[in-house]
Amino acid sequence: MVRPVLMGQLTWVMAQAAELAEQSITQSITVWRAIVIGIVQGLTEFLPISSTAHVKVVPVLLGWGDPGVSFTAVIQLGSIAAILWYFWDDLSSVTTQFGRAALRRDFRSFDFRLGLGILLGTVPAVFVGLFVKLFVPGYDNSIVRSTGAIAFTSIIMALLLGVAEWVGSRQRDFSKLSLSDGIFVGFAQALAIIPGVSRSGSTLTAGLFAGLKRETAARFSFLLGTITITLAGLVSLPDMFGVNSEVQLIPLLAGLFAAVVSSYLAIAWLIEFLKNHTTWIFVWYRLAFGAVLLLAIAFGQLENI
């Protein structure tokens, strides 16, 4: 009888310590640190290099500690605002044309297929996200989110992007998108639940494998991610207020503003960049990023947490 009681008390103490540790980390975020984390979030959310990995690793490398899942959810709202801002005309057009085509029962039209493709492409990510949220309560602190796992994932996804760049035909533009593209890229988007995968990276890779032009794959990735990123931010709101209720408002707003600006610039830059350049720069970066993390862990310069 004594042993179960002691184990129960030990578990409770460890849980309380973990909660206090996360609160101390988030409460130590100054305005400057919040701005830096916001910029990192904004730049890496839409570049195919994994925002989750960088928002976790960069503050740790700077000696600030892990900012925590909840604080990350706050500044992720800035990326949501940026993507809505940049693609507002496209989103309005897709929504309007999809609705009109549905009312006309013109199910074979491009507008209807594009809208339905975006909706169906969102389903896998939503399903996986809700499943993890409801049935894997310790996922945020699991080994999947460890630095070592992020390093290996970054390397694997770099290799996949390199193969897609090598074998992809890149013949189809935005007007040639099909319903199957939405479903295929949507399943790739669901992989982003794993830190280090990168939602932008997995969807861009899938688009290249499907024969889309680079800028088309990126643009479709962003449109497809609008619903997913928004839902992810909304689902995280309860956790945000539960853990970060004592965090000062000014650092939060500073990080949020930095994320909005950097996200918008990242979207605009990437679409223009991919019109005339390959994705190899991101392949090499991800390989180097993963290798540096593994070396830092091996030599004791970075904890595998």
Tokens for 57, please give them: 């690793």
User: Would you tell me how many other CB atoms lie within 10 Å of the CB of residue 149?
Assistant: 18
Is residue 262 a contact partner of residue 39, using CB atoms and an 8 Å limit? yes
Is residue 27 a contact partner of residue 249, using CB atoms and an 8 Å limit? no
In the chain, which residues have pLDDT < 70? 1-28, 69-70, 236-247
Between CA 98 and CA 84 the distance in angstroms is 18
Going by C-alpha positions, the residue among 173, 246, 243, 185 that lies closest to residue 213 is 173
Between CA 94 and CA 100 the distance in angstroms is 10
Residue 203 is predicted with a pLDDT of 97
Distances (CA, A) of 241 to 101, 233, 234: 41, 12, 12
Distances (CA, A) of 76 to 37, 50, 51, 301: 10, 13, 9, 28
Task: Give residue-wise pLDDT tens across range 106-121.
Answer: 988 888 999 999 999 9
Residue 240 is predicted with a pLDDT of 58
Q: What is the mean pLDDT of the chain?
A: 85
* CA 113 from centroid of its chain's CA atoms: 25
The backbone torsions φ and ψ at residue 240, rounded to the nearest 5 degrees and listed phi first, read: -60, -50
Is residue 9 a contact partner of residue 17, using CB atoms and an 8 Å limit? no
Is residue 44 a contact partner of residue 54, using CB atoms and an 8 Å limit? yes
**DSSP β-bridge partners for residue 212:** 172
- β strands within 44-169, DSSP E: none
The structure's pTM equals: 0.85
